Amino acid sequence: MNESSNENVGGSAMGGSSLAVPAAIVIGFGLIAASIYFSGNKPVTTTPEGEDVNSAELSTVTPVSERDHIRGNPNAKLVVIEYSDFDCPFCKTFHTTMQTIADEYGPGGNVAWVYRHFPLTSLHPSAAYIAEASECVAQIGGNDAFWKFADLVFAERSVNEPTNVARLPEFAEIAGVGQADYEACLESGRGKAKVESDAQNAIATGGRGTPHSIILIGDQTLLINGAQPYEVVKQMIDGLLN
């Protein structure tokens, strides 16, 4: 399952060499007329869930670089790139799944997890602000500080509640970032460009909702459809690594 700006939930099939994992549970058929807004207030509408994400779309994923937030070995054989929204309920669930995957496969250097931003601001008005705050933490405190901050944000709230943004300075401080530096970065807007760049790439790769996750292994690019449970993600990873 994932969350889209249309609130459509369903499975999708992949063509060519790409792969989609069918959604384990399919619920909800309501539509909400909404758009996602990025730079220049340009509206971007999403494609309804259930339509194919083709291999050409997946192949447009931006290569992993030092600009990314990476948990695990950057040179790992298999990389999971997740485009996520800090206030998305399904992203909270999937974040826990990926924490378990990272703990299990990270020490061996076989799997890395890359976090990128895809705030659905039509559904979660604070999502872009939280994403920009996380970028400030990363710019000031580095990769480890980003992950500490991200883990705290997701852990702080229950599944169906928004993030308490008043606690973000506290989380930044716990992550090792001074409050004055954090506030100055937020006021400068330095985190905005990375958030927008990530979101635009999510859409280019066929992202219709969150979480939108792509596996890179060798010359293969594969889709994880929505917030798959740990057992499904583990099965995918084991099959690919073996």
Q: Considering its fold, how many domains does the chain have in total? A: 1
Peptide bond just before 211 cis, omega within 30 deg: yes
Q: What is the pLDDT along the chain (242 residues), one digit of tens a residue?
A: 888 754 332 222 223 333 443 333 222 222 222 233 332 333 232 333 333 456 778 889 999 999 999 999 999 999 999 999 999 999 999 999 999 999 999 999 999 999 999 999 999 999 999 999 999 999 999 999 999 999 999 999 999 999 999 999 999 999 999 999 999 999 999 999 999 999 999 999 999 999 999 999 998 999 999 999 999 999 999 999 99
Which CATH number characterizes residue 119's domain?
A: 3.40.30.10
What residues contact residue 173 under an 8 Å CB cut-off, 6+ apart?
A: 179, 182
- The whole-model pTM stands at 0.81
Q: Which amino acid is at 87?
A: D
Q: String of b and e for 78-111 (b: at least 16 CB within 10 Å)?
A: bbbbbbbbbbbbbbbbbbbbbbebbeebbeeebb
DSSP type of residue 20: B
Which residue do the tokens 């401080």 mark? 173
Range of the domain at 149: 3-241
